[in-house]
A and B are shown apart, each in its own frame.
Chain A
């Protein structure tokens, strides 16, 4: 990530010149910022200030461990139990459960809805997140009726916990350039000897790694967790991937 971004602390005043001013679009505030009428914009967390003058958007990039659901987040939820109309899911340990309606799946009707058992993982989108209310999830796009890759996660694989900031970096459209995370590409590319695996990254700091070969899952999981924990740069990520792959080869 570029270093020229401004680091702000909670309550600090933001220089008005940094606030994007677009002639037409209204100013949109992302997480970590608060608007105090009439015109003050105050950060509520410590982190890097991100501004996008084209979209007229600003937010704060920060790392934390406690996940707060917000609308539109793609998350990895775990089914707790089923009630008459919806499943109760946990997004993070020790937090209030989120609801996932039985019919919020692709082409689900009362008769064809998927039956999920407690403990199963679901890749879902937060459809509603209000303060003081349990968040609501969906596995289908409300307007198109398509799943777009969401739904229950089946197949061999495992979940690895990472920090929220790292999950966000992984989810960036250009994870390598903007997020500075290249491990996944490297593992699938020449450094990793073309490992075959799939991932599902949840904003709630959980990454599912699936592969038919358990060794691949372990390598990918360890690479992700190590990159996150030690805040590795690109070059060190490359070295880590090579080391892990070599170790696994040696064990065969």
Chain B
């Protein structure tokens, strides 16, 4: 396994020294995100998030399966993360690294355990048939802050996703193709977003948002806060690292809330734009003989 390339001493020293003067290598403010781009694919449930040079693709899919025996009334919802050699040569296929485990746990806690998706609505026939919704997260390029980008991609993909419509008549379950009936969106309860803080300095007194890869390699600790726009914390994870004053952490959480509201607005706007793009003018427009050609 090739080792992760480590930054040189000169770089490490400079990044820290510059941060102490409120200066970052790319000229951003400490609490400023890199330019964030969100786009949707032609298919439903494909979201592509670009955060500077970091790029994450999430794809949501659904299929009908048998529910777990201990939860007959719930559908199945899984998030699969993959950090392969495409992300960085230090990652190998089928060998989860610590980064990958922590990333998938964070997404799991943020999106799944916080109840963002109503899994009961995925149940079709109690104990026999249910929808299994799966989101695959592919990290295409890694330049730091995978967590925030992946979380946004997952939430965007799920909110964009439409599953085929179904009906139950006299014990017969019918799944309609998109041509027969317009697919329906998932029953979505709230949209959580992750905001990751990186700490620098002897006492962890410098808090920085959206760290790049080199900053991540130099940082002394990090804290990921997941919130939704209603001000509910879904998850906080400061897993060790240099101790940080409790008051500073509270400050971080309150700043995170404003960032989460920005993410939420961005996602709503992009979804509305996408809907507009797809809307060709309803049923009558589809019946017309003209086409784009």
Contact = CB atoms under 8 A, between A and B. Distances in A.
A–B contact (CB under 8 angstroms): yes
Interface range on chain A (Cβ under 8 Å from partner): 20 to 34
B23 A158 contact: no
Contact of B10 (A118, A120, A247, A248): A120
A215 B26 CA distance: 11
Interface string B41-65: 0000000000000000000000000
A78 B27 contact: no
B23 A218 contact: yes
Nearest to B29: A251
Contacts, number: 58
B35 interface: no
A247 B27 contact: yes
Interface in A115-153: 117-121, 153
B69 interface: no
A217 B14 contact: yes
A108 B170 CA distance: 91
Contact of A214 (B2, B10, B23, B26): B23
Contacts of A221: 25
Contacts of A34: none
B15 interface: yes
Contacts of A219: 27
Contact of A94 (B15, B21, B89): B89
Nearest to A153: B10
Given A221-B25, A222-B27, A214 B5 contact: no
Interface of A: 78, 90, 93-94, 117-121, 153, 156-159, 208, 214-215, 217-219, 221-222, 244, 247-248
Interface of B: 2, 5-15, 17-18, 21, 23-27, 89
Which 7 residue pairs are nearest across A and B when measured between Cβ atoms?
Answer: A93-B5, A119-B9, A158-B14, A214-B18, A78-B8, A94-B2, A94-B89
